[in-house]
Amino acid sequence: MINKNIDLNLAIIGLGYVGLPLTLEFAKKRKVIGFDINSKRIEELNLGIDKNLEFKKHELQLSKYLKFTSNEKDLKSANCYVVTVPTPVDDFKKPDLKPLISANEMLGKIIKQNDLIIYESTFFPGCVEEECVPILEKRSGLKYNHNFFCGYSPERINPGDKHHTISNIKKITSGSTPEIANLVDELYNEIVTVGTHKAISIKVAEAAKVIENTQRDLNIALINELSILFNKMNIDTQAVLAAAATKWNFLPFKPGLVGGHCIGVDPYYLTYKAESIGYHPKIILAGRELNDNMGNYVALELIKKMKTKSIQIKGAKILIMGLTFKENCPDIRNSGVKQVINKLKEFGCDLDLQDPYVNKENIKKIYDIHPSSTLNQNIYDAVLIAVSHDEYKKKGLVYFKNLCKKNHVFFDLKNLFNSNEVDLKL
């Protein structure tokens, strides 16, 4: 068995928001193979292009220890595989483990005696040993914890965040035996300067990860519900939160759309596991239901306000600014803005979409709306700021007001401006 982390030959499986930063960080210390099944992604990375806009050309081509590939044969030289594939949900909000299963099927054909497989993807407690290990054993003919070993160290990447990076975010680590747990911990301590937390088992590490985003989801759901309530009472939610935040232990969550690949997904993995063992989690699902419907709420509030200003709804010219699931990133998958757009389409509104980070072809493909390259003044019945990109913050109130007709609705969903300067806020 491998007993020193310097003996590990690394291969990172999946080069998205999680895998690529991890690959580049390890490549500062040791040889690393970065693998992705998307050959176009590999071609771009080898040319120094990151479509996620997280890394620049010089960062991608900095290390002599780095190799990007989509060829499975290149993985055979590794003995430690770190799996960072996506774990989404399907249309019925059930875990979609197809990417994870495919990765394990591939690794099962490759792994050798004493190899180590570490998972970073987020899933339900027990997934490594109940779902992944049986595939690896069947495909490889090897026996778990005798011929190969597993670890789990959940990702804590925050896309678009240049301050909280891999090296300065504390990492949870775990292993399938005490010796492997130590080995995994030593490996990650090579790149994490703020230290690690070694969990007592893989299941504990899996559970810790999935509740991080579940807790955040519930806290946002509470604030979203309070926002809906205060709106009905004609109370400024932001003023309430500012007042409450003067207490030292008040948690500073804000209302808004909840999307992305973590907060809007991970609670469903936990509820799936809970229901599989006969427990129906009421609070978690209630929070998910409320957050899942915030897009409809936002659209209906905008329509309601337009009606109070006698603005014709059908054919109304509305500009949506910001389409991504969070600020300063180009990813529109799982964005909460999509529900807002679909609801406004139902009312027959004429929508313009704009986002400086998103590929225009992707916008056209998803929404069947040509995005606006240039924005003309005095043409919009309503403007909705849906994502707080830094570029929007810099423009100032006058810029947005000038886009609108004299009689208009300005919905500042992200609270960039004071309540007395806009028509609607959450």
Asked whether the CA dihedral 185, 129, 259, 275 is positive or negative, the reply is negative
Per residue in 242-283, pLDDT (tens digit) is 999 999 999 999 999 998 778 889 999 999 999 999 999 999
Q: Which of 98-102, 124-128, 262-266, 369-373 has the lowest mean pLDDT?
A: 369-373
Dist. CA 210–CA 377, nearest whole Å: 46
Rg of the chain in Å (alpha carbons): 24
> Looking at the DSSP assignment, which residues form a beta bridge with residue 382?
318, 409
**174 vs 200: CA distance, rounded Å:** 7
| Phi-psi group of 26: left, alpha or beta (phi > 0 → left; psi -120 to 50 → alpha; rest → beta) | alpha
* CATH class assigned to 5-200: alpha beta
Angle at 64 between CA 23 and CA 6, to 5 degrees: 65
Could you read off the pLDDT of 383-407 as tens digits, one per residue?
A: 999 999 999 989 989 999 999 999 9
Please determine whether the domains at 5-200 and 295-426 fall in the same fold group of CATH: yes
pTM comes to 0.92
Q: In what order do the strands lie in the sheet with 80-83?
A: 66-69, 32-35, 10-13, 80-83, 115-119, 148-152
CA dist., res. 180 & res. 201, Å (int): 11
143 residue type, one letter? K
Specify the residue for token string 């559970």: 207
The per-residue pLDDT for 1 is 58
Residue type at 161 in one-letter notation: D
Which token pair is 136?
Answer: 């690896």
Give 374's pLDDT tier (boundaries 50, 70, 90).
confident
Given this model, what pLDDT does residue 375 score?
85
- Once rounded to an integer, what is the mean pLDDT over residues 105-112? 97
- Could you tell me which residue, 7 or 137, shows the higher pLDDT? 137
- N-term to C-term CA, the chain: 56
pLDDT tens digits, residue range 213-236? 999 999 999 999 999 999 999 999
341 phi-psi bin (left φ>0, alpha ψ -120 to 50, beta other): alpha
How many residues are given for the chain? 426
Which two tokens mark 163?
A: 């301050």
More confident: 328 or 75 = 75
Q: What is the mean pLDDT of the chain?
A: 93
| Alpha-carbon distances of 150 from 46, 132, 242, rounded to whole Å | 30, 10, 46
Q: Is 262 among the residues known to form the active site?
A: yes
State the alpha helices, DSSP H only, in 6-156: 19-26, 39-46, 57-60, 98-108, 127, 133-140
User: Sorting pLDDT into bands at 50, 70 and 90, what band is 7?
Assistant: confident
CATH architecture of 295-426: 3-Layer(aba) Sandwich (3.40)
Q: What is the DSSP string of 242-262?
A: HHHTTSTT----------TTT
Query: Domains of the chain: which residue ranges?
Result: 5-200, 295-426
- What is the sign, positive or negative, of the torsion defined by CA atoms of 324, 327, 329, 333? negative
Catalytic residue among 262, 329, 349, 404: 262
* Residue 383: per-residue pLDDT: 96
Output the pLDDT for position 354.
Answer: 92
Residue 371 has pLDDT above 80, yes or no: no
**How far apart are the C-alpha atoms of 165 and 10, rounded to whole Å?**
20
Between 53 and 245, the more confident residue is 245
**Token pair listed for 147:** 């011929």
pLDDT band, very low/low/confident/very high, at 363 (cuts 50, 70, 90): confident
Would you tell me the crossing angle of helices 237-244 and 202-232 to the nearest 10 degrees?
130
Cβ neighbors of 171 (< 8 A, separation 6 or more) are: 153, 156, 188, 192, 195, 196, 197
Q: Which residues contact 321 (CB under 8 A, 6 or more apart)?
A: 354, 355, 383, 384, 385, 386, 387, 392, 400
Under a CB-based contact definition with an 8 Å cutoff, are residues 401 and 413 in contact?
no
